[in-house]
């Protein structure tokens, strides 16, 4: 790292504007020395919050690598988000986009965050007006943050430089340039930090008014499971694509022998995390509205079970959140401008975060199998059009002409995605047998483009982000914010199903049980019933390889738009297949349905082997001769 921990004042005063969450924005004021920073509990707490403030804001589309740099969304050409430049294939070694190694071009300086945590750990014991248990808890939070920052870097850059402690100011220059550790050493150190932190973290947050979002023991269990799953996955476990990639010590940075025991360890970590979550009464979310004048249909109830598992703040399923990061802008970007046509200006609704066609096709049929496998689904005619009917009255506006692709789909399709002719529950309309809002997106209609930046380029919208309690008016868009989830219980269940499947010779009832829990909440039959009764490959679920494919798709569907796809495709080594598919939408500049519902290629992205690992800035390489550039850059 070119910036050492030689300037204490600069570190203490770093990051004065991070946004989201009041306590996350606090940094020590007028701190001239470390003695002053840790002279009182109040100033030490503010230093801890500075350590938290380096957390990347994945709750904001403009700064969320996982959302904008992948293939789930596409944007109007006038947009300039740094991460989206990566999705378009414009990443570079000179001044890279989303540079989390140095904190440039949309990235947070995570190494500076690590050094800040080290300062905290070196000095927290000096604070005089604190009880020992509180010092231990705060130290545990700093260790958790260190682990998280290292993990975040590993998932972007692969083998990184592990920073165990800061160097003294008078350290010789030759010791100030760390080398890259092997991928196994990185995971081992991350696990070491989690294990050290876990005993001293609280089971739950007692005072939500002042501590909501701070790390807990259940978060540590989830984190440990996530790290174990990654360490076991093909990209990190015996990846021969990086044979010969060595550090300055001559060590192979990627292990070259696949180790099946890592999946056994991952399954055990998931089991422990699930048991801990259940002990704290976490359960899959079900919508229980705070109004009683309307009786919801089963269709809308299921949709809200799905939508609100993300949008309902601090609900029974949200077990690990990104501290201090509240979702506001994503809701604006997910809401179509013109959704409520009586308010033509619709201040605050922007609707530019547009899901791609591949995502719309990814969701299952109503029978819970892929549409290309369902023997009852008219796959060949999916590009034709039909009018909304009685059977789809809770999904599609009756008598409105829309794509056949929008009919006979699973509840998660309707809960996640808004489309031309699709109904939109909420936004002041709570009677599902009443006059619900719906999208009219063809040229000249309320949700059609009227400018160059606030419209959907594909004809789809990210409904999943939008809290049903938001209110559209003539002068404002009132948003109910919620914390961004790092892991929901359904995510943990599916990780467990994946680890169990990979650790066995063939799937068994344990594997099916955890995925079926998620499917049942989504209104779908069990894997066994769905594949045996509706799939053209009815025995698929009985093999390890077939079940792997089913679990992978289930994760991509259940956790759609939550930043999971970006990393899952990488750890499964599927990114080169998925990220090279064309970005397709509807022909949105057309007035009539047959013309509007023609596929239009918006972009042909390019993803090669080098793109799995992000480039390290050339400026960094010039300073630290102990690190080499990632392959291909």
Banded pLDDT at 176 (limits 50, 70, 90):
confident
CA dihedral 312, 317, 322, 328 (to 10 degrees): -20
Q: In sequence order, which residues have a C-beta less than 8 Å from that of residue 304 and are 6 or more positions away?
A: 287, 289, 296, 415, 425, 468
CB atoms within 10 A of CB 592: 11
Structure tokens that stand for 590 in this block = 């057309």
pLDDT average, residue stretch 513-528: 98
What percentage of the chain reaches a pLDDT higher than 70?
94
Asked if pLDDT for residue 51 goes beyond 90, the answer is yes
Contact assessment for residue 106 and residue 63, using Cβ atoms and an 8 Å cutoff:
yes
Instruction: For residue 441, give both structure tokens.
Output: 């997106």
pLDDT level of residue 13 (50, 70, 90 thresholds): very low
β-pairing, 460-462 vs 482-488, is unpaired
Model confidence at 195: pLDDT above 80: yes
Q: Where are the domains of the chain?
A: 298-308+321-485
- Give the pLDDT score at 14: 35
Three-state SS for 484? strand
Sign of the alpha-carbon dihedral angle for 343, 344, 347, 349: positive
CA atoms of 232 and 631, how far apart (whole Å) = 22
Query: Phi-psi region for residue 200, left (φ > 0), alpha (ψ -120 to 50) or beta?
Result: alpha
**Cα-only R_g, the chain:** 25
CA distance 544 to 501: 6
Q: What are the tens digits of pLDDT across the range 277-334? A: 999 999 999 999 877 678 999 999 999 999 999 999 999 999 999 988 999 999 999 9
Kindly indicate the confidence band of residue 24, based on its pLDDT and cuts at 50, 70 and 90. Answer: very low
Q: What span, in angstroms and rounded, lies between the C-alpha atoms of 68 and 106?
A: 12
pLDDT above 90 as % of the chain: 86
Task: Report residue 181 as tokens.
Answer: 């550790």
What is the average pLDDT value for the chain, to the nearest integer?
A: 92
Backbone angles phi, psi at 48, to 5 degrees: -60, -40
As a whole number of angstroms, the distance between CA 437 and CA 341 comes to 9
Each residue's pLDDT tens digit, 586-600: 999 999 999 999 999
The C-alpha atoms of residue 154 and residue 118 are separated, in whole angstroms, by 19
Report the pLDDT value the prediction gives residue 345, as an integer from 0 to 100. 58
* The pLDDT of residue 474: 81
CB 247 within 8 A of CB 179: yes
pLDDT at 211: 80
104 touches 93 (CB < 8 A): no
> Which residues are CB-neighbours of 630 under 8 A, at least 6 positions away?
157, 158, 610, 613, 614, 615, 616
Question: Apex CA 316: angle with CA 315 and CA 318, to 5°?
Answer: 65
Q: What is the pLDDT of residue 16?
A: 30
pLDDT over threshold 60, residue 6: no
């Amino acid at each position: 790292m070119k910036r050492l921990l030689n300037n204490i004042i600069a570190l203490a005063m770093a990051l004065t504007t991070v946004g989201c969450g009041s306590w996350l924005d606090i940094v020590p004021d007028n701190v001239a020395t470390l003695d002053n920073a840790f002279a009182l509990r109040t100033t030490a707490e503010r230093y801890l919050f500075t350590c938290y403030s380096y957390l990347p804001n994945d709750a904001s589309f403009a700064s969320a690598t996982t959302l904008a740099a992948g293939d789930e969304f596409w944007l109007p050409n006038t947009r300039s988000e740094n991460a989206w430049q990566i999705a378009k294939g414009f990443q570079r070694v000179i001044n890279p986009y989303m540079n989390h190694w140095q904190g440039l071009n949309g990235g947070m300086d995570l190494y500076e965050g690590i050094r800040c945590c080290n300062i905290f750990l070196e000095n927290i014991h000096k604070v005089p007006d604190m009880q020992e248990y509180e010092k231990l808890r705060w130290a545990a939070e700093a260790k958790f943050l260190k682990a998280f920052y290292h993990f975040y870097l590993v998932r972007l850059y692969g083998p990184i430089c592990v920073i165990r402690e800061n160097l003294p100011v008078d350290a010789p220059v030759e010791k100030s340039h760390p080398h890259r550790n092997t991928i196994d050493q990185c995971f081992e150190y991350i696990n070491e930090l989690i294990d050290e932190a876990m005993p001293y973290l609280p089971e739950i947050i007692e005072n939500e008014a002042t501590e909501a979002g701070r790390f807990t023991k259940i978060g540590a269990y989830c984190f440990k499971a996530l790290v174990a799953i990654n360490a076991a996955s093909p990209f990190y476990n015996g990846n021969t694509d990086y044979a010969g990639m060595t550090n300055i010590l001559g060590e192979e940075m990627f292990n070259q022998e696949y180790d099946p025991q890592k999946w056994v360890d991952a399954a055990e970590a998931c089991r422990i995390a699930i048991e801990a979550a259940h002990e704290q009464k976490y359960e899959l979310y079900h919508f229980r509205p705070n109004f009683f004048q309307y009786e919801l249909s089963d269709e809308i109830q299921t949709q809200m079970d799905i939508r609100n598992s993300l949008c309902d703040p601090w609900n029974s399923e949200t077990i690990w959140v990104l501290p201090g990061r509240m979702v506001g802008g994503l809701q604006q970007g997910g809401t179509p401008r013109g959704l409520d046509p009586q308010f033509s200006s619709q201040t605050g609704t922007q609707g530019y975060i547009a899901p791609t066609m591949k995502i719309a096709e990814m969701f299952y049929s109503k029978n819970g199998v892929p549409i290309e496998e369902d023997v009852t689904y008219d796959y060949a005619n999916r590009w034709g059009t039909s009018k909304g009917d009685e059977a789809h009255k809770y999904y599609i506006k009756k008598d409105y002409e829309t794509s056949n692709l929008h009919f006979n789909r699973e509840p998660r399709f309707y809960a996640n995605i808004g489309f031309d002719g699709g109904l939109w529950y909420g936004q002041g309309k709570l009677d599902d047998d009443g006059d619900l809002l719906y999208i009219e997106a063809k040229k000249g209609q309320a949700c059609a483009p009227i400018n160059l930046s606030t419209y959907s380029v594909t004809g789809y919208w990210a409904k999943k982000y939008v809290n049903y309690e938001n209110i559209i008016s003539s002068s404002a868009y009132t948003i109910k914010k919620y914390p961004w989830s790092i892991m929901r219980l359904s995510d943990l269940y599916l990780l467990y199903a994946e680890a169990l499947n990979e650790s066995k010779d063939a799937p068994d009832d344990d594997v099916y049980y955890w995925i079926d829990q998620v499917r049942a909440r989504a209104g779908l039959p069990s894997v066994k019933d769905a594949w045996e009764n509706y799939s053209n490959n009815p025995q698929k679920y009985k093999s390890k390889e077939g079940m792997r494919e089913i679990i992978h798709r289930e994760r991509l569907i259940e956790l759609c738009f939550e930043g999971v796809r970006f990393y899952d495709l990488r750890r499964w080594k599927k990114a080169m297949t998925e990220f090279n598919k064309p970005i397709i939408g509807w022909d949105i500049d057309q007035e009539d349905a047959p013309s509007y519902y023609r596929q239009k290629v918006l972009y042909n992205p390019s993803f090669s082997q080098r793109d799995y690992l992000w480039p390290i800035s050339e400026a960094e390489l010039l300073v630290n001769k102990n690190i080499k550039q990632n392959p291909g850059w």
